[in-house]
């Protein structure tokens, strides 16, 4: 009996320590699945204080934003039955094609390469949007445009003021802001009319 008590005590200590170690090792891992469309954006989130905005990061973020808006706008032109949504989509496609062309020129002068395709998350979000039709499509499209442009306006406002960007990129950001704000305003007016 004298040998059993210390053995049981040792087993209990090891069991408790093992459970504590296992719990300490189980950290909350973020879900890699993108949030549902309409709650997620098609543009990268604004830079944090730990991530300074650079010419390179701005060019990539701005290019991906325009490429995404062109692609989802093209889908909306084909799929939407709502005149206001089609009008927003047409304007977005035309304006973002022009903006992307201008960005290519400014980026080339700064020797910065633009991405050629959407990243995986934006491609999945675009594909998810394309699966919808009718009023559900229109609402998801408008929600995504509203969110994306809200974030893009914030990115471009930061770029306009950033001393880390080239003067040409700051000018590009400043000259693009009125159009981005107009897209956001149009999306908000469609959302208001539809609810």
Identify the CATH number of the domain in which residue 90 sits: 1.20.1260.10
Q: What is the mean pLDDT of residues 30-59?
A: 57
Q: What is the mean pLDDT of residues 130-145?
A: 93
pLDDT number for residue 3:
54
Residue 22 lies in a domain: no
Q: Comparing 143 with 191, which gets the higher pLDDT? A: 143
Q: What is the mean pLDDT of residues 36-58?
A: 59
pLDDT in tens, 66-118: 999 999 999 999 999 899 999 999 999 999 999 999 999 999 999 999 999 99
Model confidence at 125, pLDDT cuts 50, 70, 90, reads confident
Residues paired with residue 37 on neighbouring β-strands, in sequence order: 40
Residue 132 lies in a domain: yes
Q: How far apart are CA 57 and CA 63, in angstroms?
A: 10
Torsion of CA 86, 69, 191, 38, to 10 degrees: 130
3-state DSSP of 152-190: HHHHHHHHHHCCCCCHHHHHHHHHHHHHHHHHHHHHHHH
Dihedral sign, Cα of residue 43, residue 44, residue 46, residue 52: negative
Least confident of 24-38, 46-60, 164-178: 24-38
pLDDT averaged over every residue in the chain: 80
Q: Which of 43, 42, 39 is nearest to 58 (CA)?
A: 43
Task: Tell me how many domains the chain contains.
Answer: 1
Q: Residue holding tokens 């991530």?
A: 51
Q: What is the mean pLDDT of residues 20-47?
A: 41
Range of the domain at 99: 55-194
Residue 122 lies in a domain: yes
How far CA 61 is from CA of 86, 90, 155, 190, in Å, comes to 25, 22, 8, 26
């Amino acid at each position: 009996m004298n040998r059993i008590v210390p053995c049981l005590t040792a087993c209990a200590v090891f069991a408790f320590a093992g459970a504590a170690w296992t719990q300490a090792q189980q950290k909350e891992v973020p879900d890699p699945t993108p949030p549902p469309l309409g709650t997620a954006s098609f543009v990268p989130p604004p830079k944090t204080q730990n991530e300074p905005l650079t010419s390179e990061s701005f060019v990539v973020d701005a290019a991906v934003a325009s490429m995404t808006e062109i692609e989802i706008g093209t889908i909306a032109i084909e799929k939407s039955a709502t005149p206001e949504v089609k009008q927003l989509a047409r304007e977005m496609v035309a304006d973002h094609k022009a903006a992307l062309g201008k960005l290519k020129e400014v980026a080339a002068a700064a020797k910065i390469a633009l991405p050629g395709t959407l990243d995986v998350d934006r491609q999945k979000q675009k594909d998810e949007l394309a699966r919808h039709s009718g009023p559900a499509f229109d609402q998801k499209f408008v929600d995504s445009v509203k969110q994306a442009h809200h974030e893009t306006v914030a990115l471009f406002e930061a770029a306009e003021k950033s001393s880390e960007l080239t003067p040409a990129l700051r000018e590009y950001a400043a000259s693009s802001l009125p159009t981005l704000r107009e897209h956001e305003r149009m999306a908000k007016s469609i959302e208001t009319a539809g609810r």
